[in-house]
Amino acid sequence: MKKLLLILFILSSFNSKATIHQIGVWGGYYQFVPSSITIQLGDTIQWEPYFGLLPTMLHTITSDNIPTGAAAFDQVWQMPADTFFQYIPQVAGLYEYVCTPHIPNGMTGEFTVINGTTAINEHNSNKELIKVTNILGRETKGTKNKPLFYIYNDGTVEKRITLN
């Protein structure tokens, strides 16, 4: 029994460092937001409705080009039944995915999985703001009392509302 508890403790310590990275599924403009992100091996990717907007049409989250040895995924996703889809990559490398019915509309995305905490920490410490967009995905210089998305070069996105 003690050995089992020790094993569970060790496993939970590995999982406690993992992060869930959210990617929004946006049917209005046929986008995954962000469309590109870098994560650590062992982290989870979670696709969910973009900014709470429920897609009314059918989408898929389908692996297109993934590293050798990685598990393929093909999730049919339509509201209100599906509120999110999670995938935990087991292999480092570039994962490209698409929404199959909306490839002609450019509904594609990718995430890069790296192995090693040093690379992530160095990358995050030097993150730079790429652009600020409004809820429609249009670049803006900032507006008070409106939700804005700050997109950084490391793939992170911060949702902010500056109140007047």
Query: Residues near 146 by Cβ (< 8 Å), separated by ≥ 6?
Result: 134, 135, 161
Q: Nearest Cα to 78, choosing from 49, 56, 103, 51?
A: 56
Q: Where are the domains of the chain?
A: 19-116, 127-164
Per-residue tens of pLDDT for the chain, all 164 residues: 555 444 444 444 444 467 899 998 887 788 899 999 999 999 999 988 876 555 567 889 999 999 999 999 999 877 665 578 899 999 999 999 999 999 999 999 999 999 875 444 444 457 788 888 887 778 887 667 788 877 777 777 777 777 76
Q: Nearest Cα to 19, choosing from 36, 7, 37, 35?
A: 37
For domain 19-116, give the CATH superfamily.
Cupredoxins -  blue copper proteins (2.60.40.420)
Token pair, residue 119, equals 């690379």
Q: What distance lies between CA 9 and its chain's CA centroid?
A: 28
Backbone φ and ψ of 125, nearest 5°: -70, -20
What pTM, to 2 d.p., does this model score? 0.60
